[in-house]
Amino acid sequence: MVELSVTPLSSLADRLVRVHVRGLAPSQLVTLLASLTDERGIRFQARAFYRADGDGEVDAERHAALGGDFTGVWPMGLFWFLRPNTLFQRLVKRDVAGSPFRVHLEVFDALHLVTGPENQPLAACIAERWYVGPGVQRVPVREGRVRGALFLPP
């Protein structure tokens, strides 16, 4: 049985996470896909192709992506290379304190440049990426022409 894990599942957006796949056949080619939908409803995706090692594992910290949106060893590549499905859009988080980005990660058998409903993932999980830590207080700032927010630690 194939298992896809992200450790930790919930973390601050600037923290590193570990993406690991277990239970593959040795040397099996797979596609890892990360996707999220932002607050405006725009979908962002990143994909990378990997070959499992002799133990049937893919570890983004140790194994090089063979292609997709990046090549080489990029432990956070699936998060850093997210790009919009619609041209000229940026990934922006407006509600930084109220909710996280939920990044859906899936692993597919073989190499897939495009995935559709007919392609069923071997495994999937969801990672939460928060922009404000627990207990942080957000204070709006309006002084003269200055507008912003002050984030105070607990």
Domain that holds residue 51: 3-152
Q: What is the DSSP string of 63-111?
A: SPB-EES--B--TTHHHHT-EESSTT-----S-TTT--EEEEEEEEES-
Q: Average model confidence (pLDDT) for the chain?
A: 94
Contact indicator for 133, 10 with CB cutoff of 8 Å: no
Q: How many domains does the chain have?
A: 1
Instruction: Kindly report, residue by residue over 113-145, the tens digit of the pLDDT.
Output: 887 778 899 999 999 999 999 899 999 999 999
Task: State the Cα–Cα distance between residues 153 and 140, nearest whole angstrom.
Answer: 15
What's the CATH code of the domain at 102? Answer: 2.60.40.2240
> Which residue carries 């930084």 as its tokens?
96
pLDDT of residue 96: 86
- Residue 126's Cβ-side half-sphere holds a number of Cα atoms within 13 Å equal to 7
